[in-house]
Amino acid sequence: MNPWPIVRAFLVRHRWAALAFVFLVAAGVSLAVALISQERALRTGSARAADRFDLIVAAPGSQTDVLLTAVFLRPGTTKLLPPEVTARLLNDKRAVFVAPIGFGDSHRGAPIVGTTSQLVIHLSNELQEGRVFARREEAVVGAASPMKVGETFRPTHGIPRDGNPEEDTDPHEHGSMITVVGRMKPTGSPWDSAIMLPVEHVWQLHSLPDGHEEGSEAVGPPFDPTRTPGVPAAVVRPTTIAAAYQLRNAYTTNESMAFFPAEALTRLYSVMGDLRQLMSLLAIVTQALVLMAIVMGVLLLFRFLVPQLITLRALGAPRLFIAAIAWGFTATLVLAGVVLGLVAGYGLSYGVSQWLAADTGVELTPTLASSEYLIAVSILATGWILALLPAYVVQRRSLAMSLAES
Amino acid sequence: MSPHDAEVGLSVFQLEVSFCDATGDRFNALSGVTAQFKPGQITAIVGPSGSGKTTLLHCIAGILVPRSGEIRHGGVIVSSLGESARDTWRRHNCGMVFQDFRLIDELTVLENVTTPALFGHYRVPSILRERARTLTRDFGLLERSVPTSRLSRGERQRVAIARALLMDPAIILADEPTASLDRANAASVAKTLEGLAGQGKAVVCVTHDDLLVSRAHEVISLKAGRMGPPAVDPFVGLRAGDLA
């Protein structure tokens, strides 16, 4: 038997109602799919962005705040590490390098980060273009920066919040002219749009000791312990795994905290995961209600199709054929809705990723994975099972009574 | 041996059908109806509204099962078949034509005509497809690929008759086939049914149309579910002596 031509004809007859049903299913599926896909994109994107930050040492406080400030370059109000702790850390032999991070300035909305060339090379895994800074008036830009190598600029005091320099409390250019001498490779992190300067320049701009002898123009380590200011955070590259744990213990004190970014992210993921589970559950419940509504809608629609169905029975169609028409009609709507929902869900996730990437600088790559397909298949299976209801109701009508009624 | 075994065609014997009305009281829709529908003849079933004409037609088609009595066709006791077997029997032996055509308007002429083939096949067998083409051509339905919604009423009834003939049934059951047509189209349909009878099919029509009654070889008159005296020709159905 082949009920499809009849199903197709009925779909054409009730095309507007059918389209409405398809969009209802698609809306539910796309929300569920986008939610899961986006959560994964956020997780993988943030993990990738933080991947090269082995250990972070900062003043005691919220690890999440420090993570957002040091790794994701979000303006924050982190306290400074005491100068003596900073000095001790910068000269700790258990680290391959310790890179202080200094903030406070920007240029055309891009944050300026004062650090060492070691961190720039480490994050970029060699440069895409040019060289690292060797003088205090030189800078390296991130891969996504619109600035070109050789371009000069003067830093603006203050970090724009939400990229809007108008919101700075005291925006004004200061310091000497800086020349861009290199460009980093893409890191998929907010560092791609940042400008990296020698930390000494940032300290100097803010009238702090610059980590070297008075009058020295040196950049990078070794730093003079007597002339080292406090820093918001320092990125530590330990020599070994054991050294990493030793350093974490050594700098987890009343004066400082040390943590692996992965740990802080895992805690964030745990919260996000709980939220995702809750949202997924809500999405599934909503979807089940939508499917039930659609099944009821199909039952109502089939009241209009009774004359045709009864005619088919009178022409000799078995009950199974009638049931197959009703099931096929509903199942087609659910299938179309699920497929459209998958596509729309990916599109939605892609759109949100683009928006978030533009806002945060974290490269987010949405994908459709087994969990999204599982949700889609579950909704499809539920819909196809629920489609048995109109099939059952329609086929059990008495042929003689229906003929008499119609 | 039952008297209607003597005939290879279709016969009903002492049919009793009852229904419940809206108040739950049971009433007889058919009482003691006995008749033969011979191949090559048109039998018109006439009577006032509610006399049981359509009920009789549904019994013949195996749509309704009588409370008592028998429906036979070529040695098969249709009334004792299960529902599924009656569906199959109807598909292969009965061609149904309705007053309001009951086509699927979104399907083309050819798709409507071949609809009964889909009940038992995934694809319409080529022999049936060819037969559908022949039928549509014979009925002057040259635009086979247009949806039937674009056809005139007369053309649509011709599509419905072509659909009824797809499986080459021995019995044509028509319920008021000319009631919603103008005189010219009604005359055309009556002529078509006459032609089918001429091909050896047993044509049974429920009708109020004098034109169709006048072409019938036999007329069964029903009143309150009972057969009345013959309205047109000498009674050519079962005679009292045959029932002995």
Which candidate from B61, B107, B111 shows the least CB-CB separation from A314? B61
Q: How many residues does chain A have?
A: 406
Do A13 and A95 share a structural domain?
no
B90/A10 touch (CB, cutoff 8 Å), yes or no: no
Residues A244 and A333 in one domain: no
- The residue range of the domain holding B119 is 3-243
State the CB neighbour count (10 A cutoff) for residue A406: 14
Long-range contacts of A47-51 (CB under 8 A, 24+ apart): A47/A262, A47/A265, A48/A188, A48/A189, A48/A363, A49/A187, A49/A188, A49/A189, A49/A190, A49/A362, A49/A363, A50/A189, A50/A261, A50/A262, A50/A265
| Overall domain count for chain B | 1
Q: Which of B237, B234, B242, B227 is nearest to B52 (CA)?
A: B227
Please state, in angstroms and rounded to a whole number, the distance separating the CA atoms of residues A177 and A180: 10
Q: How many domains does chain A have?
A: 2
Q: How confident is the model at residue A217 (pLDDT cuts 50, 70, 90)?
A: confident
The residues of B whose Cβ lies within 8 A of any Cβ of A are 54, 58, 61, 63-64, 83-84, 87-88, 90-92, 94, 96, 98, 102, 104-107, 111, 115-116, 118-123, 163-164, 167
Distance from CA of B195 to the nearest CA of A (A): 21
Mutation target for A interface from B99, B106, B108: give the one with most A CBs within 10 A. Answer: B106
pLDDT digits (tens, 9 = 90+) for A304-342: 888 888 889 889 899 999 999 999 999 999 999 999 999
Q: Which domain holds residue A141?
A: 55-259
Give the pLDDT mean for A251-269: 89
Question: Quick one: average pLDDT of A270-278?
Answer: 77
How are beta strands B68-73 and A55-58 bridged, if at all?
unpaired
Tokens 């197959």 sit on residue: A324
Per-residue pLDDT at B33: 93
Contact B218, B9 (CB under 8 A): no
What pLDDT was estimated at residue A40? 87
User: B197 to chain A nearest CA, in Å?
Assistant: 20
**Whole-number pLDDT of residue B132:** 94
% of chain A exceeding 90 in pLDDT: 35
d(CA B196, CA B209): 18
Considering only the beta carbons, identify the residue of A2, A12, A403 that sits closest to B58.
A403
Tell me if residue A236 falls in helix, strand or coil. Answer: strand
Of the residues A198, A229, A259, which one is the last residue of a structural domain?
Answer: A259
Q: What is the pLDDT of residue B61?
A: 93
Confidence (pLDDT) at A267: 84
Q: Are residues A237 and A325 in the same domain?
A: no
Q: What is the pLDDT of residue A329?
A: 92
Enumerate helices (H) and strands (E) in chain B, giving the number of each: 8, 10
Same structural domain for residues A101 and A234?
yes
Please identify, among A225, A243, A259, the residue that sits at the C-terminal boundary of a domain.
Answer: A259
Q: What is the pLDDT of residue B239?
A: 33
B111 neighbourhood in chain A, CB within 8 Å: 5
Q: What residue in B sits closest to A2 (Cα-Cα)?
A: B122
Which of A2, A6, A404 is opposite residue B104, by nearest beta carbon?
A6
Task: Tell me if chain B has a CB within 8 Å of the CB of A401.
Answer: no
The whole-number average pLDDT for the span A375-402 is 85
| Residue A295, pLDDT above cutoff 90 | no
pLDDT on residue A171: 57
Lowest-pLDDT range of A46-55, A163-172, B38-47: A163-172
The pLDDT of A85-98, averaged and rounded, is 90
Same domain, A229 and A95: yes
Tell me what percent of the residues of chain A surpass a pLDDT of 70: 95
* A66 and A90 fall within a common domain: yes
Give the per-residue pLDDT at A285: 81
pLDDT score at A39: 84
User: Is A227 found in the same domain as A101?
Assistant: yes
**Residue-wise pLDDT tens for chain B (244 aa)?**
344 444 468 999 999 998 887 788 888 899 999 999 999 999 999 999 889 999 999 999 999 899 999 999 988 999 999 988 999 999 999 999 988 888 999 999 999 999 999 998 999 999 999 999 999 998 888 777 888 988 988 899 999 999 999 999 999 999 999 888 888 888 888 999 999 999 999 999 999 898 899 999 999 999 988 987 755 444 443 333 333 2
- Residues A244-249, mean pLDDT to the nearest whole number: 93
Cα–Cα distances (Å) from B109 to A221, A341, B100, B102, B135, in that order, read 88, 36, 16, 13, 11
The answer on pLDDT for A26 being more than 70 is: yes
Prediction ipTM score: 0.83
Domain boundary pick from A259, A289, A324: A259
Residues in chain B: 244
Whether residue A214 is predicted with pLDDT greater than 60 in this model: the reply is: yes
Whether residues A238 and A275 fall in one domain: no
* CB spacing of A1 vs B119 below 8 angstroms: yes
- Which positions in chain A touch B84 (Cβ < 8 Å)? 318-319
